[in-house]
Amino acid sequence: MRDYIVSAASQINAGGGSNGFNPTNLGVSDFSLVATTLDTNNAYKFMSGIEGMDRFGTGPVRSAYFMLSSTELQSDFDSLVGSGFLSQWNYPTNASALPSEYGSVYNIRILTSSEAPVARNAVANSSGTLNDVYYNTVLGKQAITHINQDGYSMNLIYRDPYYSGMLAQNATLAVKFAQAQAITQDTAIRNLLSTRLSNLGV
């Protein structure tokens, strides 16, 4: 599904950053632009907002779309603290936060994963310096689905070692399914492409 979305959903290049690449690093205006685009297209938001509470260091969270991003961009998000980024730990309550949720900017809540798609050294600036391009997928509730073929749903298969090999050395654990992916509403999804501001630090 991830790779299919990269290939089939339309793209917006980030322009709100200042690093001199196209796309730029993420700026808060990019979040605002994408959310505005999805709102204009009548996309459904995933999450309702979180009302503000009388707790130090917290702030209310807007109703939001989800954005799937790379963990490598977390330091870039941290650099937006004070400019619009709210860490998950600064939510009034993180009861509704997902385990992979890093924070939010305006109407977008950010989930990070090391498995998010990255194109390495994909752009060069006018000095010839290379940067990676990140595919940050922002989606509304009705954007994507998968189709089970002929009602053939997912099977979890486990065979213990006794049945998987004569010497009982290897077990088998697998998931089997016949599915196709589909973008159900193309106006409710955007790939927000960005580069990175900070060093990778690996």
Partner 1 sequence: MAEYSRMAKGSFTASATTAVVQLPFKPDFVELLNYTNIAAGSGTNKTTRAWWDASLVVSSNNPTMIELYGAGGSVLFDVVAGSAAAPGISAFSAGQLLQFGPSKQIVASTKGATTSFQVTSHGYAAGDVVIFEGLYQSATTGMPQMAGIPFTVATVTDANNFVVNWNSNNSSYTNLSASPTGSTVKKVLYPYLYFPGTSVISAITTGATTTIDTTSAHNFVVGQEVAFRIPSQWGTVELNTLPNLTIPGSPIYGYVVSVTDFNTFVVSINSTSYTAFTTAIAVSAVNGLSFPQVVAVGDVNTGGVAISSGSALYPPPQYTPIGTAGVNTINGPAIKGAFVNNTAQGFVIGNGAATTNTSAAIMAANDVIEWRAYLHDYSSP
Of 89 and 177, the one with the shorter C-beta distance to partner 1 is 177
Of 28 and 122, the one with the shorter C-beta distance to partner 1 is 122
Of 50 and 67, the one with the shorter C-beta distance to partner 1 is 67
Quote the least distance from Cβ 179 to partner 1, whole Å. 9
Q: CB 118: neighbour CB atoms within 10 A?
A: 15
Compute the residue count for the chain: 202
Whole-angstrom CA distances from 58 to 43, 53, 94, 183 are 28, 7, 11, 36
Quote the least distance from Cβ 85 to partner 1, whole Å. 19
Quote the least distance from Cβ 54 to partner 1, whole Å. 40
- Dist. CA 93–CA 61, nearest whole Å: 10
Of 59 and 165, the one with the shorter C-beta distance to partner 1 is 165
Quote the least distance from Cβ 138 to partner 1, whole Å. 14
Q: By the criterion CB under 8 A, which residues form the site for partner 1?
A: 3-4, 6-17, 20-24, 40-42, 117, 119, 121-130, 133, 147, 149, 164-165, 170, 172, 180-183, 186-187
CB within 8 Å of 29: residues ≥ 6 apart: 15, 16
